[in-house]
Structure 1
Amino acid sequence: MKLSTKGRYAVMAMIDLALYAQDNPVALSDIADRQEISLSYLEQLFAKLRRAGLIRSVRGPGGGYMMARPADEVVITHIFKAVEEPIRTNACNPDSPHGCRADKSRCITHDLWLGLSNTIYDYLDSVTLDDVLKRRVPISTYQPAAQ
C-alpha cells in the first residue's frame, strides 16, 4: 500500500487541531508535541493544508492555527488531497495508459489492486473529522476464519 506518513500525520494533526482549537488558535509546536511529529514536517504539511483552505493561521502573540471549516465539513480525503498524498495500492499510475511492468503492460492483478484503492478512497471519503472525534468511524466486522 502506498500511504506514507504524510497523509497519516496530516490527519492526526487535523484531528488535534479540531479538538484543541475550539476558541483559540493552537501553536504548531503543541500539536507536534502531542502527536509526536517533527515540527518542521508539520510546518510543511500545514502550509499545504492552509493553501487548500482547510486551516487558517492567526498571527501575533497567542497566534497559531485554527480550523477554516467545521470538523463535520472536512472529509478525510480532503486532507489527503491537500497534502498531495495519493491513495493507491498498486504501483501503476492511474492517469497513465501504461502499466507497472517493464514492457509497460499492466500486471494480472492490476484490477484487484485498483479496486482495493477505490474501496479505501470511498471509505475515507465517507468519514469526516467530526466522525473521528466522536468515534463514529465505521469499522470492519471481518473476522478471519479459524485455522
Structure 2
Amino acid sequence: MILLSRRSLLSIAAVVDIALHARPLPVAAKILAERHNLPPRHLETVLQALVRHGILKGVRGPRGGYELARERRRVTAGDVVRAAMTVTGEDGLPPMPDSRLVDDVVGPAVKTASEAFLAQLDAITIDDLCRKAERNAALGGDDRTLDFAI
C-alpha cells in the first residue's frame, strides 16, 4: 500500500526525470508529460509549485523548460512531497468533525505517523533515486544525458 497521493508520486518522478535529463538543455513540460503518459496541463501546477519551493527552476524561451534549482543531493523526496502537498488543497472537502476523539486521540496519532513518514522521505535524496534509476535503466524516453563531445 502506497501512502503518497498520485500527485506526490508524480512530483517525485518528475524531479528525478528532470535531474536525469536536464543536461545540456532544460526539460520541456511537454516532453516530461510524454515520458509519463500525462497531459501537459496536468503537470504544470505541480511543476510551478516545485519552482515556488526552490526545487526546480523554470527556464523561459523556445528551448526552455525545467531544471533543478539545487544540486540533486540537496533535494529530498520529503522536500518534493511537501511542495506537492501545497497544490492539492482541501477546499472542496467538508469541514473536519468537531470531535474530542479526533482532536485528542486520532489527530495527534496521525500527525505523529505523518511526521515519521516524511522523516523517512527526507532521508532519500533525488541523487539516491537518480542513481537507482541509472542502475535499473529506468530512465524512460530519449537519454539526453549522453555526451558525444569529441
Contact 1:21 1:66 survives alignment (8 Å): yes
- Which residue of structure 2 aligns with residue 123 of structure 1? 120
User: TM-score, normalised to structure 2's length?
Assistant: 0.70
Which of 73, 97, 104 aligns to 2:100? It is 104
Identity of aligned residues (%): 28
1:61 aligned counterpart, secondary structure: coil
Taking the TM superposition and a 5 Å limit, the aligned residue runs for 1:60-79 are 60-79=61-80
Q: In structure 1, what is the Cα distance between the partners aligned to 2:130 and 2:32?
A: 16
C-alpha separation between the residues in 1 aligned to 2:126 and 2:29?
18
- Structure-2 residue corresponding to 1:31: 32
Distance 1:108 1:67 in 2: 40
Cα–Cα, structure 1 residues 102 and 33, in superposed 2: closer, same or farther, change >3 Å? same
| SS across alignment from 1:80 | helix
Is residue 2:135 matched to residue 1:135?
Answer: no
- Alignment partner of 1:65: what SS? strand
Say how many residue pairs are matched. Answer: 123
Letter in 2 for 1:125: D
Q: 1:109 to 1:84 in 2, by over 3 A?
A: closer
Opposite residue 127 of structure 2, the aligned amino acid is D
Supply the RMSD in Å over aligned alpha carbons. Answer: 2.6
Greater RCO, CA 8 A, separation 6+: 2
Separation of aligned partners in 2, 1:37 and 1:127: 25
Residues 78, 122 of structure 2: 8 Å contact kept? yes
Which one-letter code corresponds to 1:31 in the other structure? L
Aligned counterparts of 2:67 and 2:38: Cα–Cα separation in 1: 18
Question: Structure 2 counterpart of 1:116, which letter?
Answer: A
1:16 alignment counterpart? 17
Q: Which runs of 5+ in 2 are unaligned?
A: 88-95, 134-150
CA distance in 2, matches of 1:34, 1:9: 12
State the TM-score, normalized to the length of structure 1: 0.71
2:77 and 2:126 in contact (8 A); partners too: yes
| Native 8 Å contact 2:49 2:86 kept in 1 | no
Correspondence for 1:51: 52
Q: Contact between 2:16 and 2:130, CA under 8 Å: does it hold in 1?
A: yes
**How far 1:59 moved relative to its partner?**
1.6
5+ residue gaps in structure 1? 87-99, 137-147
**Structure with the higher fraction of residues in helix conformation:** 2
In structure 2, distance between residues paired with 1:104 and 1:44: 36
In the superposition, relative to structure 1, how do residues 108 and 81 fare at CA in structure 2: closer, same or farther (>3 Å)? closer
